[in-house]
Chain A
Amino acid sequence: MSHYYAEDMLGDSRLIKSVGGSFLFHILLILFIYLFSSNTPDTNSITSEKIKELKVIQSAVKVDVVSMPKLTVKELKAIQHIPLVEEPNKETTKLIAEPVVEPKKEGGAKAEPEVKSQKNSFQSLLKTLSEEKIDLKNIKKIEKTDKIAKIEQNSELKKLVLEGNKISKGSQVFSENHSSEEQRQALELYAQNMTNKVRSHWSLPSYLLGKDFSCQVRVFISENGDLIKSEIYKKSADAEFDQRALRAVERTATFGVPDKSIVTRLIQGEVLLGFPL
């Protein structure tokens, strides 16, 4: 009897050991998959999205070549360096973001301004127009402006491809009792503004450009918006790349006064800046 009891006990402990071991193994496996998947964002979708947009730009270039180009590469570069996006207003710290606007997808309809069809006013407009003298000089001017606008539109598209998703500036004022979602949106908006500032200092020497390095820098910001400290949160495969990312953050130094609701989170370093993503 005692022999069977001892065997049972031995069997039980073996069972518990093997179940426990299996449980532990699965937990570790899930943990590994979780950590791995969360550390590597959906790069495929980003890459394919980028490629899709790049193809659009390429085909536009093909259509344009109908005569020898008048402008040199240098002149075209000078045109592209004209700032396209207005700097966000420094005083709008009480604003939080509207829901994140997804980048336009192919075939996605853009909200068109409402057009009021008023027959009478249209006819009178035609009449007025027919009575007006045509100013050829003005037409040439308009054509020129259109050309410049087209060039700017192309370079803006290119810039969007390089920048990735953009979070638009919100206009909704929130109360003192901020929900965690509102706080998060405010933090996201602040982080987006930070990237705009850091980008102007983010440059690499030719031998590091085009290489597939990526790192994340954790930034700690004071209530005045000054940089308290920055540190590498996720290393790239190249130490110099990481150093240059850190230097870009350090050279920016000040990021604008944040809203009170997010100060604690900024001081605690809850913003990670991705170089490039």
Chain B
Amino acid sequence: MKKNILGMILLLSSFLNMVAQTKQDFVVASVGQASEALQHIYISESEYSSDLSPAMKNIARKFSELIGDDFAYYKHKYTVDKTIKGEFTYSSGIPYSVLLKKGVDILIQTSFSQQGSKTIMNVMATKVLNKTTFYKSEVPIEISNWRTLGHSLSDRIYRGINDGKQSIFKDKIIFVSDYGSQLGKQIKELYVVDFDGEQRRQLTRHGGVVISPAVSPDGNKILYSLIDPSSKVKNINLMMLDLVTGKVTTVSDKKGINSGAVFTGDGKSVLLTLSFNGNADIYELRLDNKQLTQVTEHTAADVDPSINGKGTQMSFLSDRSGRAMIYSLDLTRPGAKPVRISYVGKFNATPRYSPDGEDIVFSSWLDERFDIFRIKNTGNQLVRLTKDFGSNEEPNFSLDNEFIIFSSKRVLSSKKSMDSIYLMTRDGEIVREIIKNFGACTTARWLR
């Protein structure tokens, strides 16, 4: 027994020595934090059976392009390539070693086949490095819904890559355009498009001037102000459009300004600027009983309220310091005083919270034009996002916090200018022009 114990002790001590020796011999060097990698996505050409209708064959050809175009929006995350004809098709399998040599991170393959009267589409997305097919589906596709279905599949693949985080692919954009205006009669109506500017639809037909739209938290209602030409009294009234029923109602038509409205976090009230008592202040208006509560009270004008995602903080513009500056107000504490956020800039406008409420994006007058800036909700870390790109206004964060949509004015001549809607990353990298050749487009907002 004693021998056994002694033997075990000797064995253990030699093991300890060995471990200690091994540990001593290694030199460990720290590589440091990784930089962000652009992921290389390969989209294979759609494969399709010969019995497909010509129209569906055409859609099959366009489909892989649509998915590629969707991912190309996230240019700060992905580089997108289309495979050469017949390469890595759905039925040809996945040659991992070849793809790894090409530096491909993700392969997306699609195929179309006819099953009776239905066209069935198969989609498969694979992470090449760890040889995992993380998304696979088989869905019927129709000519009428192929774009919507394509964006939806892109979103599912995006979520598969990004731990379930939703993309912008299924989101829509509402905006105001003066398309159809005639000399002497300006008309501005509300429109909606897919996030990529396609599938445009007109939402209002007042024949008047629609301004400053805002979307409800559930995405079913839109608030906007209207200067109605048919009304005898020229007033800016607040309207609400129900996207489910199509019904338009007047929310507030007090004397003076009823504008710049946004929904509160629960969607049951709106915060808006009213000027019926002679000075512009911000009020809360309950939608069910029209009960009005004054939120800000100052001899200076308080306008343009914006609310964070949780509905706990409101930012607004006020000239109480002598210049239009951004202030924030804690909505959870009754009687809380506004806190000044911005201290610089000649004239600041349209502050808007990011969905997580951490950042505020706004436009500021600089060098004879507006440019877009971002600042933390604490007033720290002020950064500039646009420069030498026309006059840029009305910024609005996308709902996934990755992009900012804004309107940009280009002066074409002393009498003519062009407003258009652009998309940039949250760090100011211009992605693309979203609305083209459709009059002067302004005040874009995201709709989900």
Contact = CB atoms under 8 A, between A and B. Distances in A.
A73 B428 contact: yes
Given A70-B384, A199-B31, A273-B31, A65 B344 contact: yes
B384 A205 contact: no
Given A70-B384, A165-B30, A240-B130, A27 B345 contact: no
B33 A270 contact: no
Indicate the member of A203, A206, A276 with the most B CB atoms within 10 Å.
A206
B336 interface: no
Contact of A206 (B36, B380, B429): B36
Nearest to B375: A65
Contact of A243 (B30, B36, B129, B428): B129
Given A24-B8, A203-B34, A204-B36, A68 B345 contact: yes
Nearest to B24: A184
B12 interface: yes
B143 interface: no
Contact of A195 (B8, B32, B36): B32
Interface string A222-247: 00000000000000000110011101
B105 interface: yes
A265 B33 CA distance: 27
Interface stretch (A13-21, A111-119, A149-157, A170-178): A13-21
B35 interface: yes
Interface string B20-33: 00010111111111
Interface residues of A, number: 65
Interface in B9-62: 9, 12, 16, 19, 23, 25-37, 39
B366 interface: yes
B32 A68 contact: no
Interface stretch (A84-92, A128-136, A139-147, A185-193): A185-193
A27 B12 contact: yes
A206 B77 contact: yes
A192 B8 CA distance: 41
B368 interface: no
A71 interface: yes
Contacts of B9: 23, 27
Contact of B30 (A72, A75, A164): A164
A188 B31 contact: no
A276 B34 contact: yes
Nearest to A233: B26
A260 to B, nearest CB: 17
B31 A205 contact: no
Indicate the member of B1, B32, B33, B380 with the most A CB atoms within 10 Å.
B32
A69 B34 contact: no
Contacts of A16: 1-2, 5
Nearest to B372: A72
B288 interface: no
A66 B31 contact: no
A72 B384 contact: yes
B352 to A, nearest CB: 18
B29 A272 contact: yes
Interface in A245-277: 245, 247-248, 265, 270-277
A35 interface: yes
A184 B28 CA distance: 11
B313 interface: no
B32 A271 contact: no
A122 interface: no
Contact of B383 (A73, A194, A207): A73
B228 interface: no
B429 A199 contact: no
Nearest to B74: A206
A162 interface: yes
17 contacts: A16-B1, A20-B5, A38-B23, A68-B382, A68-B384, A72-B428, A163-B32, A191-B28, A195-B31, A198-B31, A202-B34, A204-B34, A205-B36, A205-B77, A270-B26, A271-B27, A272-B28
Given A27-B12, A31-B12, A74-B428, 16 more contacts: A20-B1, A38-B23, A65-B343, A68-B366, A69-B373, A69-B384, A73-B385, A164-B32, A191-B28, A199-B31, A203-B35, A204-B37, A206-B162, A207-B165, A244-B37, A274-B31
Interface of B: 1-2, 5, 8-9, 12, 16, 19, 23, 25-37, 39, 77, 105, 127, 129-130, 161-163, 165, 343-345, 364, 366, 373, 380-387, 427-429
The 5 closest A-B pairs by CB, nearest first: A203-B37, A191-B29, A20-B5, A204-B34, A69-B384
Interface of A: 13, 16-17, 20, 23-24, 27, 31, 34-35, 38, 58, 61-62, 65-77, 162-165, 184, 187-188, 191-192, 194-195, 198-199, 202-209, 216, 239-240, 243-245, 247-248, 265, 270-277
